[in-house]
Chain A
Amino acid sequence: MIRSTSIALVCALSAWQAQPAFAYIKFGVPAGGRTVTLKWSQTPRYFVTTDTVPGVSAADFQGAVARAFATWEAVPTSTIAYQLAGTTSARPTEDDGSSVLGFLDRPDLDRVLAATDFVIDVTTGALIESDIFFNSAFQWSTAGEASRFDLQSIALHEIGHFSGLGHSALGETELREGGGRRVIAAQAVMFPIAYAAGSTEGRTLKADDIAGITDIYPTSDVNATLGSISGRVTKDGQPVLGAHVVAFDPSDGSMVGGFTLNNQGSFSIGSLSPGPHIVRVEPLDDADTDSFFSATARVELNFRVMFVDRVIVVPRGGDSGSVAIAVIGK
Protein backbone atom coordinates (compact mmCIF):
# COMPACT_ATOMS: atom_id res chain seq x y z
CA MET A 1 0.00 0.00 0.00
CA ILE A 2 0.98 3.54 -0.42
CA ARG A 3 2.63 5.06 2.56
CA SER A 4 2.74 8.78 2.60
CA THR A 5 5.79 10.28 4.12
CA SER A 6 6.35 13.86 4.82
CA ILE A 7 9.98 14.60 4.46
CA ALA A 8 11.50 17.64 5.86
CA LEU A 9 13.67 18.02 3.04
CA VAL A 10 13.29 21.14 2.22
CA CYS A 11 14.26 22.89 -0.52
CA ALA A 12 14.50 26.17 1.00
CA LEU A 13 15.60 29.34 -0.55
CA SER A 14 17.35 31.76 1.68
CA ALA A 15 18.68 35.20 1.24
CA TRP A 16 21.77 34.32 3.19
CA GLN A 17 22.05 30.65 3.68
CA ALA A 18 20.27 27.72 2.21
CA GLN A 19 18.62 24.95 4.15
CA PRO A 20 19.58 21.36 3.46
CA ALA A 21 18.55 19.66 0.30
CA PHE A 22 20.09 17.03 -1.85
CA ALA A 23 20.39 16.85 -5.47
CA TYR A 24 21.86 17.26 -8.76
CA ILE A 25 19.37 19.08 -10.79
CA LYS A 26 16.71 16.57 -9.92
CA PHE A 27 15.87 14.71 -6.74
CA GLY A 28 16.38 11.03 -6.33
CA VAL A 29 14.30 9.27 -3.69
CA PRO A 30 14.47 5.68 -2.43
CA ALA A 31 11.41 3.74 -3.50
CA GLY A 32 10.89 0.03 -3.69
CA GLY A 33 14.52 -0.69 -2.89
CA ARG A 34 15.95 1.55 -5.59
CA THR A 35 16.47 5.23 -6.22
CA VAL A 36 13.99 6.83 -8.57
CA THR A 37 13.58 10.35 -9.87
CA LEU A 38 11.12 12.37 -7.85
CA LYS A 39 8.35 13.51 -10.17
CA TRP A 40 4.64 13.90 -10.59
CA SER A 41 2.95 11.01 -12.33
CA GLN A 42 -0.10 13.14 -13.13
CA THR A 43 -0.77 16.84 -13.64
CA PRO A 44 -0.25 18.41 -10.21
CA ARG A 45 -3.20 20.39 -8.86
CA TYR A 46 -2.49 23.17 -6.43
CA PHE A 47 -4.42 25.47 -4.13
CA VAL A 48 -3.46 28.96 -3.09
CA THR A 49 -4.32 30.56 0.21
CA THR A 50 -5.98 33.93 0.46
CA ASP A 51 -3.68 35.18 3.18
CA THR A 52 -2.08 38.52 2.52
CA VAL A 53 1.04 40.33 3.68
CA PRO A 54 1.84 44.04 3.48
CA GLY A 55 2.34 44.95 -0.16
CA VAL A 56 0.85 41.73 -1.55
CA SER A 57 -2.90 41.24 -1.88
CA ALA A 58 -4.49 37.85 -2.42
CA ALA A 59 -4.91 38.72 -6.09
CA ASP A 60 -1.28 39.80 -6.34
CA PHE A 61 -0.19 36.55 -4.77
CA GLN A 62 -2.30 34.42 -7.08
CA GLY A 63 -1.13 36.40 -10.11
CA ALA A 64 2.56 36.07 -9.24
CA VAL A 65 2.23 32.36 -8.53
CA ALA A 66 0.28 31.80 -11.75
CA ARG A 67 2.97 33.58 -13.77
CA ALA A 68 5.66 31.46 -12.16
CA PHE A 69 3.79 28.23 -12.94
CA ALA A 70 3.24 29.47 -16.50
CA THR A 71 6.97 30.12 -16.89
CA TRP A 72 7.77 26.48 -16.16
CA GLU A 73 4.92 25.32 -18.39
CA ALA A 74 6.31 27.37 -21.26
CA VAL A 75 9.50 25.32 -21.55
CA PRO A 76 9.05 23.85 -25.04
CA THR A 77 11.07 20.71 -24.38
CA SER A 78 9.13 19.75 -21.26
CA THR A 79 5.63 18.37 -20.77
CA ILE A 80 5.16 19.69 -17.26
CA ALA A 81 1.78 21.31 -16.67
CA TYR A 82 -0.02 22.42 -13.54
CA GLN A 83 -3.63 22.99 -12.64
CA LEU A 84 -4.99 25.59 -10.26
CA ALA A 85 -7.57 23.84 -8.08
CA GLY A 86 -8.78 26.98 -6.31
CA THR A 87 -8.30 28.81 -3.06
CA THR A 88 -8.12 27.28 0.37
CA SER A 89 -7.92 28.19 4.02
CA ALA A 90 -5.57 25.26 4.70
CA ARG A 91 -2.05 26.02 5.82
CA PRO A 92 0.72 25.20 3.35
CA THR A 93 2.32 22.72 5.72
CA GLU A 94 -0.50 20.26 6.32
CA ASP A 95 -0.17 16.72 4.99
CA ASP A 96 -3.73 16.58 3.75
CA GLY A 97 -3.29 15.35 0.19
CA SER A 98 -3.62 18.86 -1.22
CA SER A 99 -0.75 20.92 -2.54
CA VAL A 100 -0.99 24.38 -1.08
CA LEU A 101 0.95 27.59 -1.67
CA GLY A 102 0.68 30.42 0.76
CA PHE A 103 2.29 32.68 3.32
CA LEU A 104 3.36 31.43 6.71
CA ASP A 105 4.81 33.51 9.51
CA ARG A 106 8.09 31.85 10.46
CA PRO A 107 10.28 34.47 12.14
CA ASP A 108 12.32 31.62 13.60
CA LEU A 109 13.55 30.81 10.08
CA ASP A 110 15.30 34.10 9.76
CA ARG A 111 17.30 33.01 6.70
CA VAL A 112 14.59 31.16 4.85
CA LEU A 113 12.49 33.08 2.38
CA ALA A 114 10.41 30.13 1.31
CA ALA A 115 10.42 26.35 1.45
CA THR A 116 8.90 23.41 -0.32
CA ASP A 117 8.09 20.04 1.19
CA PHE A 118 6.72 16.86 -0.23
CA VAL A 119 4.58 13.86 0.43
CA ILE A 120 5.91 10.95 -1.55
CA ASP A 121 4.64 7.51 -2.41
CA VAL A 122 7.60 5.54 -1.15
CA THR A 123 6.74 2.50 -3.25
CA THR A 124 6.94 4.35 -6.56
CA GLY A 125 8.69 7.61 -5.77
CA ALA A 126 5.76 9.53 -7.19
CA LEU A 127 4.87 12.88 -5.72
CA ILE A 128 1.52 12.97 -3.98
CA GLU A 129 1.57 16.39 -2.41
CA SER A 130 3.88 19.36 -2.31
CA ASP A 131 3.40 22.50 -0.28
CA ILE A 132 5.19 25.80 -0.60
CA PHE A 133 5.25 28.42 2.07
CA PHE A 134 6.56 31.96 1.71
CA ASN A 135 7.89 33.35 4.93
CA SER A 136 5.85 36.43 5.82
CA ALA A 137 8.58 37.47 8.24
CA PHE A 138 10.18 39.03 5.14
CA GLN A 139 8.89 41.91 3.07
CA TRP A 140 7.41 40.91 -0.26
CA SER A 141 6.47 42.57 -3.50
CA THR A 142 5.03 41.54 -6.84
CA ALA A 143 6.14 44.75 -8.54
CA GLY A 144 9.90 44.69 -8.05
CA GLU A 145 9.90 47.25 -5.27
CA ALA A 146 13.28 48.01 -3.72
CA SER A 147 14.01 46.38 -0.35
CA ARG A 148 11.29 43.78 -0.90
CA PHE A 149 11.80 40.27 -2.19
CA ASP A 150 10.19 39.50 -5.51
CA LEU A 151 7.46 36.96 -4.95
CA GLN A 152 7.39 35.76 -8.56
CA SER A 153 11.13 35.05 -8.58
CA ILE A 154 11.01 33.11 -5.34
CA ALA A 155 7.88 31.26 -6.47
CA LEU A 156 9.64 30.27 -9.69
CA HIS A 157 12.46 28.71 -7.65
CA GLU A 158 10.12 26.91 -5.26
CA ILE A 159 7.95 25.61 -8.10
CA GLY A 160 11.13 24.12 -9.53
CA HIS A 161 11.40 22.11 -6.31
CA PHE A 162 7.64 21.45 -6.40
CA SER A 163 8.28 19.86 -9.81
CA GLY A 164 11.15 17.69 -8.58
CA LEU A 165 14.22 19.81 -9.22
CA GLY A 166 17.00 20.20 -6.72
CA HIS A 167 19.48 22.99 -6.48
CA SER A 168 21.88 24.15 -9.14
CA ALA A 169 25.38 25.37 -8.35
CA LEU A 170 25.59 27.80 -11.26
CA GLY A 171 26.29 30.92 -9.29
CA GLU A 172 29.01 32.90 -7.60
CA THR A 173 28.83 34.20 -4.05
CA GLU A 174 30.94 35.93 -1.48
CA LEU A 175 30.88 35.57 2.26
CA ARG A 176 29.14 38.28 4.26
CA GLU A 177 30.67 39.72 7.34
CA GLY A 178 27.71 38.78 9.50
CA GLY A 179 27.64 35.24 8.16
CA GLY A 180 25.99 33.69 5.17
CA ARG A 181 26.63 34.59 1.56
CA ARG A 182 25.77 37.28 -0.94
CA VAL A 183 25.08 36.40 -4.55
CA ILE A 184 27.44 38.02 -7.03
CA ALA A 185 25.78 36.42 -10.02
CA ALA A 186 23.86 33.29 -10.92
CA GLN A 187 22.80 31.54 -14.07
CA ALA A 188 20.07 29.30 -12.73
CA VAL A 189 16.79 30.04 -11.02
CA MET A 190 17.53 26.92 -8.99
CA PHE A 191 20.67 28.40 -7.43
CA PRO A 192 20.07 28.01 -3.68
CA ILE A 193 20.69 31.60 -2.67
CA ALA A 194 18.39 34.37 -3.79
CA TYR A 195 19.28 37.67 -5.33
CA ALA A 196 19.07 40.62 -2.98
CA ALA A 197 15.73 42.25 -2.25
CA GLY A 198 14.45 44.39 -5.10
CA SER A 199 15.81 42.23 -7.89
CA THR A 200 13.45 40.63 -10.38
CA GLU A 201 16.18 38.81 -12.34
CA GLY A 202 15.01 35.51 -10.92
CA ARG A 203 11.84 35.59 -13.01
CA THR A 204 13.54 34.12 -16.09
CA LEU A 205 14.52 30.49 -16.46
CA LYS A 206 18.05 29.82 -17.61
CA ALA A 207 19.48 27.00 -19.71
CA ASP A 208 20.32 24.98 -16.60
CA ASP A 209 16.74 25.18 -15.31
CA ILE A 210 15.35 24.28 -18.72
CA ALA A 211 17.67 21.30 -19.01
CA GLY A 212 16.62 20.15 -15.55
CA ILE A 213 12.87 20.27 -16.12
CA THR A 214 13.37 18.71 -19.55
CA ASP A 215 15.32 15.89 -17.97
CA ILE A 216 12.41 15.05 -15.68
CA TYR A 217 9.47 15.70 -18.00
CA PRO A 218 10.81 15.39 -21.54
CA THR A 219 8.69 15.81 -24.63
CA SER A 220 8.59 12.80 -26.91
CA ASP A 221 11.21 14.13 -29.32
CA VAL A 222 13.80 15.17 -26.73
CA ASN A 223 15.66 11.87 -26.71
CA ALA A 224 16.19 12.15 -30.45
CA THR A 225 17.11 15.83 -30.57
CA LEU A 226 19.17 16.53 -27.47
CA GLY A 227 22.22 14.78 -26.08
CA SER A 228 24.29 14.37 -22.95
CA ILE A 229 27.80 14.40 -21.54
CA SER A 230 28.83 11.80 -19.03
CA GLY A 231 32.07 10.92 -17.35
CA ARG A 232 34.00 10.52 -14.18
CA VAL A 233 36.00 12.88 -11.97
CA THR A 234 38.98 11.65 -9.99
CA LYS A 235 41.63 13.17 -7.77
CA ASP A 236 44.88 11.31 -7.22
CA GLY A 237 43.20 8.34 -8.83
CA GLN A 238 40.31 8.33 -6.37
CA PRO A 239 36.73 9.17 -7.36
CA VAL A 240 35.48 12.61 -6.36
CA LEU A 241 32.02 13.12 -4.87
CA GLY A 242 30.30 16.46 -5.31
CA ALA A 243 32.36 18.00 -8.09
CA HIS A 244 30.35 20.57 -10.01
CA VAL A 245 30.70 19.86 -13.72
CA VAL A 246 29.49 22.51 -16.15
CA ALA A 247 28.95 22.09 -19.88
CA PHE A 248 29.37 25.36 -21.81
CA ASP A 249 27.95 25.67 -25.31
CA PRO A 250 29.97 28.24 -27.28
CA SER A 251 27.23 28.57 -29.88
CA ASP A 252 24.89 30.39 -27.51
CA GLY A 253 26.90 30.87 -24.30
CA SER A 254 24.58 28.64 -22.30
CA MET A 255 25.75 26.63 -19.31
CA VAL A 256 24.24 23.49 -17.84
CA GLY A 257 25.63 21.96 -14.70
CA GLY A 258 25.66 18.62 -12.98
CA PHE A 259 27.44 16.91 -10.14
CA THR A 260 29.41 13.78 -9.50
CA LEU A 261 26.80 11.99 -7.47
CA ASN A 262 28.17 8.67 -6.38
CA ASN A 263 31.17 6.90 -4.99
CA GLN A 264 32.49 6.24 -8.48
CA GLY A 265 32.76 9.97 -9.19
CA SER A 266 30.34 9.65 -12.11
CA PHE A 267 28.37 12.48 -13.61
CA SER A 268 25.87 12.88 -16.39
CA ILE A 269 24.55 16.14 -17.79
CA GLY A 270 21.46 15.66 -19.91
CA SER A 271 19.23 17.72 -22.21
CA LEU A 272 22.16 19.42 -23.93
CA SER A 273 22.08 20.92 -27.38
CA PRO A 274 24.07 18.83 -29.87
CA GLY A 275 27.48 20.16 -30.82
CA PRO A 276 30.83 21.11 -29.33
CA HIS A 277 31.00 21.95 -25.63
CA ILE A 278 33.63 23.04 -23.15
CA VAL A 279 33.57 21.30 -19.77
CA ARG A 280 34.61 23.08 -16.58
CA VAL A 281 34.93 21.45 -13.18
CA GLU A 282 34.86 23.25 -9.85
CA PRO A 283 34.37 22.45 -6.17
CA LEU A 284 31.06 23.32 -4.52
CA ASP A 285 32.36 26.40 -2.78
CA ASP A 286 29.70 28.99 -3.59
CA ALA A 287 27.06 27.65 -1.24
CA ASP A 288 26.90 25.29 1.69
CA THR A 289 27.37 21.75 0.49
CA ASP A 290 24.27 20.66 2.34
CA SER A 291 22.31 22.80 -0.10
CA PHE A 292 23.07 20.04 -2.57
CA PHE A 293 23.99 16.88 -0.68
CA SER A 294 23.04 15.35 2.62
CA ALA A 295 25.00 16.68 5.54
CA THR A 296 26.80 13.34 5.99
CA ALA A 297 28.05 13.14 2.40
CA ARG A 298 31.82 13.49 2.06
CA VAL A 299 31.89 16.15 -0.59
CA GLU A 300 35.37 16.88 -1.96
CA LEU A 301 36.15 20.61 -1.95
CA ASN A 302 39.93 20.56 -2.09
CA PHE A 303 40.67 20.80 -5.78
CA ARG A 304 41.35 23.51 -8.32
CA VAL A 305 38.91 24.80 -10.88
CA MET A 306 39.87 23.45 -14.28
CA PHE A 307 38.76 22.98 -17.87
CA VAL A 308 38.85 19.70 -19.74
CA ASP A 309 41.53 20.07 -22.38
CA ARG A 310 39.50 18.73 -25.27
CA VAL A 311 36.31 19.79 -26.94
CA ILE A 312 33.48 17.49 -25.94
CA VAL A 313 31.05 16.84 -28.76
CA VAL A 314 27.45 16.12 -27.79
CA PRO A 315 25.80 13.92 -30.40
CA ARG A 316 22.18 14.47 -31.35
CA GLY A 317 20.19 11.88 -29.45
CA GLY A 318 23.23 10.32 -27.79
CA ASP A 319 25.96 10.63 -25.22
CA SER A 320 29.46 12.02 -25.57
CA GLY A 321 31.04 8.85 -24.26
CA SER A 322 32.74 8.81 -20.91
CA VAL A 323 34.89 11.86 -20.23
CA ALA A 324 37.69 11.19 -17.76
CA ILE A 325 38.62 14.24 -15.68
CA ALA A 326 41.52 14.23 -13.22
CA VAL A 327 41.44 17.22 -10.89
CA ILE A 328 44.36 18.50 -8.85
CA GLY A 329 44.39 19.44 -5.19
CA LYS A 330 44.73 23.10 -4.23
Chain B
Amino acid sequence: MTRRRAVAALAVALAVRASAVRAQPVIVPGRLEIGIGPQWTGHAALGSRNANETTGAGSPFTLFSSSTDLASATGLEARIGVRVLRRLEAEVVGSYATPSLVIQTLADSESAPGVAAKERLRQFTIHGAAVWYVPARRAGARTAPFVTAGVGYLRHVHEKDVLLAGGTVYEAGAGIKQLLVSRDRRRLKGVGVRADVRAVARAKGVAPDGGTHVSPAVTASLFVRF
Protein backbone atom coordinates (compact mmCIF):
# COMPACT_ATOMS: atom_id res chain seq x y z
CA MET B 1 0.00 0.00 0.00
CA THR B 2 1.40 3.30 -0.97
CA ARG B 3 1.45 6.08 1.51
CA ARG B 4 -1.19 7.95 -0.49
CA ARG B 5 -3.50 4.93 -0.46
CA ALA B 6 -3.02 4.48 3.28
CA VAL B 7 -4.09 8.06 3.92
CA ALA B 8 -7.10 7.66 1.68
CA ALA B 9 -8.13 4.44 3.43
CA LEU B 10 -7.84 6.11 6.81
CA ALA B 11 -9.91 9.02 5.63
CA VAL B 12 -12.61 6.70 4.33
CA ALA B 13 -12.56 4.74 7.57
CA LEU B 14 -12.95 7.91 9.62
CA ALA B 15 -15.69 9.13 7.34
CA VAL B 16 -17.57 5.86 7.66
CA ARG B 17 -17.25 5.97 11.43
CA ALA B 18 -18.38 9.57 11.63
CA SER B 19 -21.26 8.78 9.36
CA ALA B 20 -22.17 5.83 11.51
CA VAL B 21 -22.28 8.00 14.62
CA ARG B 22 -24.30 10.78 13.01
CA ALA B 23 -26.55 8.40 11.19
CA GLN B 24 -28.65 7.69 14.23
CA PRO B 25 -32.26 8.22 13.26
CA VAL B 26 -34.06 11.19 14.75
CA ILE B 27 -35.72 9.59 17.70
CA VAL B 28 -38.92 11.56 17.72
CA PRO B 29 -41.47 9.49 15.88
CA GLY B 30 -44.52 10.70 14.03
CA ARG B 31 -45.21 13.67 11.80
CA LEU B 32 -47.31 15.99 13.97
CA GLU B 33 -46.43 17.34 17.43
CA ILE B 34 -48.58 19.29 19.85
CA GLY B 35 -47.05 20.75 23.00
CA ILE B 36 -47.94 23.06 25.84
CA GLY B 37 -46.14 24.33 28.91
CA PRO B 38 -45.05 27.26 31.03
CA GLN B 39 -42.70 29.90 29.70
CA TRP B 40 -40.61 32.33 31.70
CA THR B 41 -39.39 35.48 29.97
CA GLY B 42 -36.81 37.72 31.54
CA HIS B 43 -37.12 41.45 31.99
CA ALA B 44 -36.33 43.88 29.22
CA ALA B 45 -35.04 47.42 29.65
CA LEU B 46 -37.12 49.48 27.23
CA GLY B 47 -35.16 52.68 27.36
CA SER B 48 -35.13 55.95 29.24
CA ARG B 49 -36.54 59.38 28.53
CA ASN B 50 -36.19 62.75 30.23
CA ALA B 51 -39.08 65.08 30.87
CA ASN B 52 -37.45 68.19 29.48
CA GLU B 53 -38.47 71.79 29.47
CA THR B 54 -36.71 74.39 27.34
CA THR B 55 -34.66 77.29 28.60
CA GLY B 56 -34.65 80.68 26.96
CA ALA B 57 -31.34 79.76 25.33
CA GLY B 58 -32.87 76.62 23.85
CA SER B 59 -31.12 74.09 26.04
CA PRO B 60 -33.04 71.36 27.87
CA PHE B 61 -33.92 71.63 31.52
CA THR B 62 -34.73 68.20 32.91
CA LEU B 63 -37.78 68.24 35.14
CA PHE B 64 -37.29 64.53 35.89
CA SER B 65 -36.02 61.38 34.25
CA SER B 66 -37.75 58.11 33.54
CA SER B 67 -36.72 54.61 32.61
CA THR B 68 -39.08 51.93 31.36
CA ASP B 69 -38.87 48.17 31.85
CA LEU B 70 -40.99 45.22 30.96
CA ALA B 71 -40.76 42.99 34.00
CA SER B 72 -40.09 39.28 33.84
CA ALA B 73 -43.17 37.13 33.64
CA THR B 74 -44.29 33.54 33.56
CA GLY B 75 -46.87 32.63 30.98
CA LEU B 76 -48.06 29.81 28.83
CA GLU B 77 -46.80 28.62 25.47
CA ALA B 78 -48.48 26.24 23.06
CA ARG B 79 -47.16 24.88 19.80
CA ILE B 80 -48.04 22.73 16.84
CA GLY B 81 -45.20 21.30 14.79
CA VAL B 82 -45.08 19.37 11.54
CA ARG B 83 -42.10 17.41 10.26
CA VAL B 84 -41.14 18.66 6.84
CA LEU B 85 -37.77 16.93 6.48
CA ARG B 86 -36.09 14.18 8.37
CA ARG B 87 -34.39 16.62 10.74
CA LEU B 88 -36.52 19.69 10.20
CA GLU B 89 -39.86 20.65 11.68
CA ALA B 90 -41.98 23.71 11.12
CA GLU B 91 -43.91 25.09 14.09
CA VAL B 92 -46.61 27.58 14.88
CA VAL B 93 -46.17 28.86 18.42
CA GLY B 94 -48.50 30.99 20.50
CA SER B 95 -47.79 32.44 23.92
CA TYR B 96 -49.57 34.45 26.57
CA ALA B 97 -48.10 36.25 29.56
CA THR B 98 -48.93 39.17 31.82
CA PRO B 99 -45.75 41.15 32.39
CA SER B 100 -45.83 44.43 34.26
CA LEU B 101 -44.82 47.63 32.55
CA VAL B 102 -42.67 49.51 35.05
CA ILE B 103 -41.79 53.17 34.60
CA GLN B 104 -39.37 54.46 37.17
CA THR B 105 -39.09 58.18 37.80
CA LEU B 106 -35.97 59.72 39.29
CA ALA B 107 -33.99 62.90 39.70
CA ASP B 108 -36.98 65.19 40.02
CA SER B 109 -35.91 68.83 39.93
CA GLU B 110 -38.40 69.67 42.68
CA SER B 111 -37.45 66.69 44.84
CA ALA B 112 -40.55 64.62 44.24
CA PRO B 113 -39.84 61.13 45.53
CA GLY B 114 -39.14 58.71 42.70
CA VAL B 115 -41.65 55.96 42.10
CA ALA B 116 -41.70 52.70 40.22
CA ALA B 117 -45.10 53.03 38.60
CA LYS B 118 -46.50 49.73 37.42
CA GLU B 119 -49.31 48.46 35.31
CA ARG B 120 -49.95 44.89 34.28
CA LEU B 121 -50.21 44.18 30.57
CA ARG B 122 -51.28 41.20 28.57
CA GLN B 123 -48.77 40.02 26.02
CA PHE B 124 -49.74 37.77 23.13
CA THR B 125 -47.33 36.39 20.56
CA ILE B 126 -47.81 34.13 17.61
CA HIS B 127 -44.86 33.12 15.53
CA GLY B 128 -43.60 30.59 13.07
CA ALA B 129 -40.41 28.72 13.85
CA ALA B 130 -38.09 26.10 12.40
CA VAL B 131 -36.71 23.29 14.56
CA TRP B 132 -33.56 21.54 13.37
CA TYR B 133 -32.59 18.30 15.11
CA VAL B 134 -28.88 18.33 15.70
CA PRO B 135 -26.87 15.13 15.27
CA ALA B 136 -25.23 14.38 18.59
CA ARG B 137 -22.72 11.73 19.58
CA ARG B 138 -23.82 11.35 23.15
CA ALA B 139 -27.52 11.71 22.73
CA GLY B 140 -29.46 8.73 23.95
CA ALA B 141 -31.98 6.93 21.82
CA ARG B 142 -34.82 8.91 23.35
CA THR B 143 -33.11 12.29 23.51
CA ALA B 144 -33.08 14.81 20.65
CA PRO B 145 -31.23 18.11 20.90
CA PHE B 146 -32.33 20.86 18.55
CA VAL B 147 -31.85 24.43 17.58
CA THR B 148 -34.74 26.71 16.73
CA ALA B 149 -35.42 30.14 15.30
CA GLY B 150 -38.57 31.98 14.41
CA VAL B 151 -40.33 35.27 13.80
CA GLY B 152 -43.85 36.45 14.43
CA TYR B 153 -46.29 39.01 15.78
CA LEU B 154 -46.33 40.62 19.21
CA ARG B 155 -49.34 42.30 20.76
CA HIS B 156 -49.40 44.24 24.01
CA VAL B 157 -52.81 44.90 25.48
CA HIS B 158 -53.72 46.74 28.65
CA GLU B 159 -55.79 44.88 31.19
CA LYS B 160 -58.82 46.91 30.15
CA ASP B 161 -58.56 45.45 26.62
CA VAL B 162 -56.89 48.57 25.34
CA LEU B 163 -54.47 47.75 22.55
CA LEU B 164 -51.24 49.47 23.43
CA ALA B 165 -49.09 48.42 20.56
CA GLY B 166 -48.21 45.69 18.14
CA GLY B 167 -44.75 44.63 17.19
CA THR B 168 -42.53 41.84 16.00
CA VAL B 169 -41.01 39.03 18.00
CA TYR B 170 -37.84 37.20 16.96
CA GLU B 171 -36.71 34.10 18.77
CA ALA B 172 -33.62 31.91 18.52
CA GLY B 173 -32.27 29.27 20.82
CA ALA B 174 -31.74 25.62 21.52
CA GLY B 175 -33.33 22.87 23.50
CA ILE B 176 -33.80 19.23 24.00
CA LYS B 177 -36.67 16.78 23.67
CA GLN B 178 -36.84 13.72 25.84
CA LEU B 179 -39.19 11.02 24.69
CA LEU B 180 -40.99 9.34 27.59
CA VAL B 181 -43.22 6.99 25.64
CA SER B 182 -42.64 5.77 22.10
CA ARG B 183 -45.13 3.63 20.17
CA ASP B 184 -44.24 3.27 16.52
CA ARG B 185 -47.29 1.39 15.36
CA ARG B 186 -50.03 3.32 17.14
CA ARG B 187 -51.76 6.54 16.16
CA LEU B 188 -50.30 8.30 19.21
CA LYS B 189 -46.67 7.75 18.48
CA GLY B 190 -45.01 9.37 21.42
CA VAL B 191 -45.20 11.47 24.56
CA GLY B 192 -42.32 13.52 25.85
CA VAL B 193 -41.03 16.65 27.48
CA ARG B 194 -39.21 19.54 25.91
CA ALA B 195 -37.03 22.28 27.33
CA ASP B 196 -35.91 25.37 25.42
CA VAL B 197 -33.63 28.25 26.19
CA ARG B 198 -34.06 31.13 23.79
CA ALA B 199 -33.22 34.73 23.20
CA VAL B 200 -36.44 36.65 22.57
CA ALA B 201 -36.18 39.97 20.78
CA ARG B 202 -39.29 42.13 21.03
CA ALA B 203 -39.39 44.94 18.48
CA LYS B 204 -41.70 47.90 19.07
CA GLY B 205 -44.64 46.69 21.12
CA VAL B 206 -45.00 48.76 24.25
CA ALA B 207 -41.37 49.90 24.16
CA PRO B 208 -41.46 53.71 24.40
CA ASP B 209 -38.36 54.04 22.27
CA GLY B 210 -39.84 51.85 19.53
CA GLY B 211 -36.68 49.76 19.54
CA THR B 212 -35.83 46.09 19.77
CA HIS B 213 -35.09 44.63 23.18
CA VAL B 214 -33.74 41.17 23.93
CA SER B 215 -34.68 38.99 26.89
CA PRO B 216 -33.88 35.43 27.83
CA ALA B 217 -36.73 32.94 27.84
CA VAL B 218 -37.02 29.42 29.19
CA THR B 219 -39.82 27.06 28.27
CA ALA B 220 -40.68 23.61 29.57
CA SER B 221 -43.46 21.74 27.86
CA LEU B 222 -45.15 18.43 27.52
CA PHE B 223 -45.71 17.19 23.97
CA VAL B 224 -47.49 14.43 22.18
CA ARG B 225 -46.70 13.17 18.68
CA PHE B 226 -48.98 11.64 16.12
Instruction: Give the interface of B toward A (CB within 8 A).
Output: 49-58, 60-61, 63-64, 66, 68, 101-103, 105, 108-119, 158, 160, 162-165, 206, 208-210
Contact = CB atoms under 8 A, between A and B. Distances in A.
21 contacts: A171-B53, A184-B53, A185-B54, A186-B53, A201-B56, A201-B57, A201-B58, A250-B103, A251-B210, A253-B52, A255-B51, A276-B164, A276-B208, A280-B105, A305-B110, A307-B117, A311-B103, A311-B119, A312-B119, A313-B158, A313-B160
Contacts of A275: 164-165, 206
B61 A316 contact: no
B97 to A, nearest CB: 17
Given A275-B164, A311-B119, 20 more contacts: A184-B53, A199-B57, A201-B55, A248-B66, A251-B49, A251-B209, A251-B210, A252-B208, A253-B52, A255-B51, A274-B162, A276-B208, A278-B66, A280-B112, A282-B112, A304-B112, A309-B115, A313-B119, A315-B158, A321-B160
A271 interface: no
A310 B53 contact: no
A308 interface: yes
A253 B53 contact: no
A306 interface: yes
Interface string A239-263: 0000000001011110100000000
B114 A307 contact: yes
Contacts of A308: 115, 117
List of 3 A-B pairs having minimum Cβ-Cβ separation, nearest first? A185-B61, A185-B53, A311-B119
A172 B119 contact: no
A14 B112 CA distance: 29
Contacts of B208: 250-252, 276
Contacts of A304: 112
A311 B101 contact: yes
A198 B58 CA distance: 12
A307 B61 contact: no
A196 interface: yes
A310 B162 contact: no
A309 B57 CA distance: 34
A214 interface: no
Interface string A312-323: 110110100100
A170 interface: yes
A195 interface: yes
Contacts of A248: 51, 66
Contacts of A253: 49-52
Nearest to A186: B53
A289 interface: no
A282 B56 CA distance: 22
B10 to A, nearest CB: 65
**Which of B60, B61, B117 counts the most chain A CB atoms within 10 A?**
B117
**Which of B66, B68, B108, B110 counts the most chain A CB atoms within 10 A?**
B110
B138 to A, nearest CB: 48
B44 to A, nearest CB: 14
A318 B162 CA distance: 10
A276 B101 contact: yes
A313 B100 CA distance: 13
Contact of B162 (A172, A206, A280, A315): A315
Contacts of B52: 187, 253
Contacts of A276: 68, 101, 103, 119, 164, 206, 208
Given A250-B49, A278-B103, A321-B160, A309 B117 contact: yes
A170 B51 contact: no
Contacts of B51: 248, 253, 255, 280
Interface in A108-152: none
Nearest to A188: B53
Nearest to B164: A275
Given A172-B63, A313-B119, A282 B54 contact: no
A282 B63 CA distance: 12
A308 B208 CA distance: 19
Contact of A315 (B56, B103, B160): B160
Contact of B118 (A250, A274, A310): A310
A187 B162 contact: no
A183 interface: yes
Nearest to A182: B56
Given A172-B61, A310-B117, A305 B68 contact: no
Contacts of A309: 115-118
Contacts of A307: 105, 108, 112-115, 117
A202 to B, nearest CB: 8
Contacts of A316: 162-163
A164 to B, nearest CB: 24
A220 B101 CA distance: 32
Contact of A196 (B56, B63, B110, B118): B56
A278 B110 CA distance: 16
Contacts of A186: 53-54
A187 B60 CA distance: 10
